[in-house]
Structure 1
Amino acid sequence: MVGTGRLRPRDAWLVGGALGVAGLLALHSAVPNGVGRLGSLLETFLPWLGAAVPVLGCLALLGRSGAGLLACLAPAAVWLWMFGGVWFSSPPAASDLTVVQHNVADDNTDPAGTARALLASRAGLIAVEELTPAARPAYQDVLGGSHPHRAVHGTVGLWSAYPLSDVRPVDIRPAGFPESWRRGLRATVSAPGGELAVYVVHLPSVRLGATG
C-alpha cells in the first residue's frame, strides 16, 4: 500500500484476480452457456479453479502484497465450502456392497487382463464403458463365473453377482446424435440390502472447438 491509501497496480491485479476466482466459484451457475458453451466449460473444470489460490498467494508473497494475500482468503474459503467435504469427510461406513466402474477403452489390446484386474476388486457389481462386440467374450469368460448376471447395451455393460431385473436402455443421446449411439442402461439389482437401481452411462467426452 502507498501512503495515499490507494492500492498499487500490482496489488489491484492480485486482489481483482482473487475476487474474480471467488466469484466464478460461487456464481458458476450464472455464467451463460449460449456463447461458446462457456458455462459448461467452466463447470467441467470448476474444482481446478482452486489451483489459482496458491499461484496468487505466491505472487502476493513475491510482491510483498498484504492486500493480495488477504484477498486470497476469499477464493480459498469458497473452494473449501464447495469441495472441502471431499477431502475432510469421515471415512465411509462399512458396507455390504462394492461397485466398481471402469472405462475399458475401445482400443484395449488386453481385455482379458483388464477383466482380471476388475475381478480382483471383489466388487459385487462391475460396470464398464467402451465395451466393444469383439472384446465382450473376453469379459464374459473372466467375469461370468463369479458374476453370472449380465446386462449389455451398446458400449456399456454390467456384470453382477446378484440377480438383475427390469433391464432397459437409457437414451442419453445429445441432439443430433444417431440412434446407434447407445451408451446408457438401467437395471434393478437384488442386492443383499434390498433392491436398488443401477445406471451405467458413458457421457459424451469434452470437445473444444470453434463453437465451444
Structure 2
Amino acid sequence: MTSTVRAAATRWPTRWALRGRALAACAVLTAVLLAFHRAVPNSVGRVGSLLEAFLPWLGAVVVVLLGLALLRRSAVALVALLLPVAAWTYLFSGLLLPAPKPGARDLVVVQHNVSDENDDPAGTARALAAAEPDLIALEELVPPALPVYEETLAGEFPYHVVRGTVGLWSRYPLTGARHVDIRPRGVGEDWSRGLRAVVRTPYGDVAAYVAHLPSVRVRASGLASARRDESARLLGAAVAGERLRTVMVLGDLNGTVDDRGLAPLTSRMNVAERGFAFSFPAGLPLARIDQVMARSATVGHIRTLPATGSDHLPVAARVTLR
C-alpha cells in the first residue's frame, strides 16, 4: 500500500465521524424544541404557541435530517438524531397505537365545525349520523341551515339544544341547558359560542360543554391568539366550577392540545390518548383544532371522518366513562 493510499484510508473514518456537524446541530436543536417547547417564550409574537400548534410536524424535520445525514455519510449527525427521535417518540408515539377495544361504558362523540358557508347541511348531517355517535356537537350553526340540521338529525337524535351558533344533539335526554359566556373583552353581546347541558346517559350524568373559541391568525408579527386565549380561560373557569364529576368539552377550540393557550382546559381535562386526527384545513389537514376532552373519563381514541361541505374535517372520539 502506497503512502498516499495509506493516508487516505487513515483519514476516511475521521471524515465520516466529523462531517455533518451542521446537521448534528440541527438535530440537537430539534430535540431541544421538542423536549422544552414550553420554554420557548410567548411574549413576542406568541412564538411558543405557534411552535406548539405544529409540534408533531417536527417529526418530518427529523426524517429530512436523517436523509441528509445518510447522504453526507455523517456518523455524528446520525448519533445526534437519536435525541429528537427519542423526544418525538416520548411525546407522540402513543398516538400511533391502535384504538382500544370498545367497552361497555363507552360513548361515541362526534365534533364538527360545519362552516357557516356549508351549502349541503343535510348531507353533512347524514354523514355525521353515519358514524353512529351518541352525541354530536356542532359549531357555526347559522339560521338558514339550523332547521335542516334539526330535521335531518331528529330521527336518531331526539334531544338537542342550541345556543347562539353552537349546538348539541343527543340520543339521551338533555337537561339543565344554558348559555356559557366565553366572550373576550370588546366582543358584542350577540356573540354566543358556548353552551352547557347535562346528558342523562345510562352510565350517569355527564356535563357536556360545546364551545367555539375565537380564531387565530398567523401574521408577520407572529400568532394573533389573544382573544382565543382569553376565551379559553373563561371556558376553563366554567369547567373548574362544574359540580358534576364527569365533564366533556367538545368544540372547535382553534388550538391544538399542545398549545399553551389552551392550558386552562388541558390542565384540567384528559385529551385523546390515541390518534392524531388532524382536522384543519379539510383540504390539507395540518393540525387538530377540533377537540374532545373529558374529566373523570378517558378519551381513548380520536379519528377524522370523511370530508363534508365544511373547511374542517369532523372528528369522532370514543369516551370511556368511569
Does TM, scored on the shorter chain, surpass 0.5?
Answer: yes
Give the counterpart of 1:129 among 129, 132, 139: 139
- Asked whether the 8 Å contact 2:16–2:75 carries over to 1, the reply is no
- Establish whether residue 146 from structure 1 lines up as the match of residue 156 from structure 2: yes
Distance 2:22 2:218 in 1: 29
- Asked whether the 8 Å contact 1:97–1:192 carries over to 2, the reply is no
The one-character-per-residue Cα deviations of 1:90-136 (angstroms, maximum 9, x if unpaired) are 62432442111111111111111111111222211111111111100
When you count strand as a share of all residues, which structure comes out higher?
A: 2
1:4 Cα offset (Å): 9.2
Q: 1:177 to 1:38 in 2, by over 3 A?
A: farther
For structure 1, the residue ranges without an aligned partner over 5 or more in a row are none
Distance 1:144 1:99 in 2: 17
What's the secondary structure of 1:99's corresponding residue?
A: strand
1:168 Cα offset (Å): 2.0
Report the counterpart of residue 27 of structure 2 in structure 1.
18
- Establish whether residue 207 from structure 1 lines up as the match of residue 250 from structure 2: no
Give the counterpart of 1:102 among 102, 112, 122: 112
The one-character-per-residue Cα deviations of 1:117-172 (angstroms, maximum 9, x if unpaired) are 11222211111111111100000101122212111122111011111112222233
Q: 1:5 to 1:150 in 2, by over 3 A?
A: closer
Distance 1:154 1:19 in 2: 48
What's the secondary structure of 1:98's corresponding residue?
A: strand
Counting only pairs closer than 5 Å after superposition, residues 1-212 of structure 1 correspond to structure 2 as: 3=14, 7-8=18-19, 11-88=20-97, 91-95=100-104, 96-212=106-222
Distance 1:16 1:175 in 2: 44
1:38 Cα offset (Å): 0.4
Distance 1:90 1:143 in 2: 27
TM-score norm. by structure 1 comes to 0.90
Distance 1:92 1:105 in 2: 32
Distance 2:108 2:42 in 1: 37
What's the secondary structure of 2:70's corresponding residue?
A: helix
1:203 Cα offset (Å): 2.5
For structure 2, the residue ranges without an aligned partner over 5 or more in a row are 1-11, 223-322
TM-score norm. by structure 2 comes to 0.61
What's the secondary structure of 2:176's corresponding residue?
A: strand
1:178 Cα offset (Å): 3.0
1:88 Cα offset (Å): 2.2
1:173 Cα offset (Å): 3.0
The one-character-per-residue Cα deviations of 1:45-97 (angstroms, maximum 9, x if unpaired) are 11111111110000000111111111111101111101111112662432442
1:206 Cα offset (Å): 3.1
- Asked whether the 8 Å contact 1:119–1:143 carries over to 2, the reply is yes
Moved more, 91-100 or 143-152: 91-100
Q: 1:74 to 1:58 in 2, by over 3 A?
A: same
- The structure with higher relative contact order (CA 8 Å, sep 6+) is 2
What's the secondary structure of 2:29's corresponding residue?
A: helix
Distance 1:54 1:113 in 2: 39
Report the counterpart of residue 311 of structure 2 in structure 1.
none
